[in-house]
Amino acid sequence: MTFLRKLALTTALVAGLSAPVAAEDVKFGLLQDFTAVYTFVTGQYNQGQQDYLALANAEGALGDGNTVTAIVRDTGNQPQRGIEAYNRAKEEGAILFDFLSTPVSAAILDQAQADRNVVITPAHGRGDASDGTVFPYVFPMLPTYWAQAAALIEHMKTTGGLEGKKIAIVHIDSPFGREPGPILTALAEQEKFEFQAFPYASPGNEQSAAWSEVRRYRPDYVLIWGAGGGQAVSVRTAIQNGIAPEQIHSVIWLAETDAANVGPQMKGVKRFEATAAGTDHPIIQRIQEKVIDAGKGAGDQANVGNSYYNLGVATMAVAVEAARLGLESGGPLTGETLKAGFEKIAGYDAEGLMPPVTYTAEDHQGGGAGRVSEWDGEKWVPVSEWKASYPDLIRQVIKESAAKYAAEH
């Protein structure tokens, strides 16, 4: 069928005719972990993704009657189930994949590259995959953990200065928790602050040992680097140890649920955000109107507009935009043309839901811009503008790490 379609298309092109192309159904594989480790984010994140795709179809975002379908499967964070789900979705025609799981992404990255399928790793996965020359088919899409650490450090600089200050980084003892290490080392030298790392054991239900050490260190700022249930424990234990909420700065994984778990003490805690929270955005409003109110929502209506929901919406908004641009060049959309579509995106901001992103063949991170927001007791309020922090340093770290990867393989 595909062959025939290709043949027909080629003939039409050769003849210089504008042949009517059959409407196409673009398939995205959202093969995520709904049941094991990433449950704190997957439900809302995936709901946002599915709702956005429903909106895109309702509005005909891809034009020419083209539609986009999500293939959603649970992988339970197990690589062997992820591989099965990937192979099956690939056979069903999916050309873009989002696993939202480090072990599954790691096990499939090479295969997907070989198959020329796009893998998006928003807010998870390897930071050096931002180098599109080494990882042509991987799109981290949103600021990497390195860019997030840089943004939080820059925010500390603008609010209270950094010189001679002490920063404690309290992180989960895993490769993810160690990600900001190199950035902090480089920035400590440049900005003349000192920092110390305080790891706690996974999954982080109990962190008192680490925090009593932190109290002895008397930090001026605290960075918390964890995910899921451990984050609320971090904030709570920090406050118990005499750290003011205003001093606490978190990685992207701190959301409304955590605030509810911590309670009123949470007021003043800051976090990095790659997409705006809340329902006060044109896209979210239209989802509410055309998807949720039409009874086509993918889950609990209460989730609409919260941080992870909006994050999911933003990932699919970018992906659909890439598919639209990819389809513009004509012909059935493949992994290759979708990748080209991504690299045509310039200054896209999902109608204000996220900072303008621009992807190039070299930069698959999209610039790395984000901002810091603060919990005001009810919602997240932005306290800085969208911007990329220390972009040269981040670019250099990405480049070095990717070059090391390329040299090893």
Rounded-to-integer distance, Cα 111 and Cα 29, Å: 15
Residue 87 near other proteins by CB under 8 A:
yes
Among the listed ranges 98-106, 223-231, 327-335, 382-390, the one in contact with other proteins (CB under 8 A) is 98-106
Can you give 45-113 as a three-state secondary structure string? HHHHHHHHHHHHHHHCCCCCCCEEEEEEEECCCCHHHHHHHHHHHHHCCEEEEECCCHHHHHHHHHHHH
Residue 310 near other proteins by CB under 8 A:
no
Which CB atom, from 124 or from 155, has the smaller least distance to other proteins? 124
Residue type, 59: E
Task: Tell me, residue by residue from 64 to 83, as one string, x for binding to other proteins by CB under 8 A and - for no binding.
Answer: --------xxx-xx-xxx-x
Q: Quick count: other Cβ atoms within 10 Å of Cβ 19?
A: 12
Among the listed ranges 102-110, 328-336, 343-351, 361-369, the one in contact with other proteins (CB under 8 A) is 102-110
* Cα 264 to chain centroid, rounded: 28
Judge residue 293's burial from the number of C-beta atoms within 10 Å of its C-beta, 0-12 exposed, 13-18 middle, 19 or more buried: exposed
Residues facing 272 on adjacent strands: 372
Residue 173 near other proteins by CB under 8 A:
yes
CB of 80 vs other proteins, minimal distance in Å: 5
Which CB atom, from 218 or from 404, has the smaller least distance to other proteins? 404
Residue 182 near other proteins by CB under 8 A:
yes
Task: Classify residue 127 by its DSSP letter.
Answer: G
Q: Which of residues 377-406 bind other proteins (CB under 8 A)?
A: 401, 404
Residue 295 near other proteins by CB under 8 A:
no
Rounded-to-integer distance, Cα 224 and Cα 214, Å: 12
CB of 2 vs other proteins, minimal distance in Å: 17
Which CB atom, from 175 or from 264, has the smaller least distance to other proteins? 175
CB of 57 vs other proteins, minimal distance in Å: 16
CB of 119 vs other proteins, minimal distance in Å: 13
Residue 91 near other proteins by CB under 8 A:
yes
CB of 16 vs other proteins, minimal distance in Å: 39
* Cα 390 to chain centroid, rounded: 19
Q: Which of residues 109-168 bind other proteins (CB under 8 A)?
A: 109-111, 126-128
309, two tokens: 């929901």
Residue 181 near other proteins by CB under 8 A:
yes
Size of the site for other proteins (CB under 8 A): 45
Cα Rg of the chain, angstroms: 22
Judged by CB under 8 A, which of 84, 213, 246, 362 binds other proteins? 84
Task: Tell me, residue by residue from 27 to 66, as one string, x for binding to other proteins by CB under 8 A and - for no binding.
Answer: -------xxx------x--xx--x----------------
Name the maximum alpha-carbon separation found in the chain.
77
Is residue 382 helix, strand or coil?
strand
- Find all residues with CB under 8 Å of 329, minimum gap 6, and list them: 337, 340, 341
Determine what percent of the chain falls in helix, strand and coil, rounding each to the nearest 5. 50, 15, 35
Rounded-to-integer distance, Cα 39 and Cα 228, Å: 8
Residue 306 near other proteins by CB under 8 A:
no
Rounded-to-integer distance, Cα 263 and Cα 257, Å: 10
Rounded-to-integer distance, Cα 98 and Cα 121, Å: 6
Residue 179 near other proteins by CB under 8 A:
yes
CB of 35 vs other proteins, minimal distance in Å: 5
Contact 321, 366 (CB under 8 A): no
Among the listed ranges 16-24, 87-95, 134-142, 318-326, the one in contact with other proteins (CB under 8 A) is 87-95
Q: Which residues bind other proteins (CB under 8 A)?
A: 34-36, 43, 46-47, 50, 72-74, 76-77, 79-81, 83-85, 87-88, 91, 102-103, 106-107, 109-111, 126-128, 173-175, 178-179, 181-182, 298-300, 401, 404, 408-409
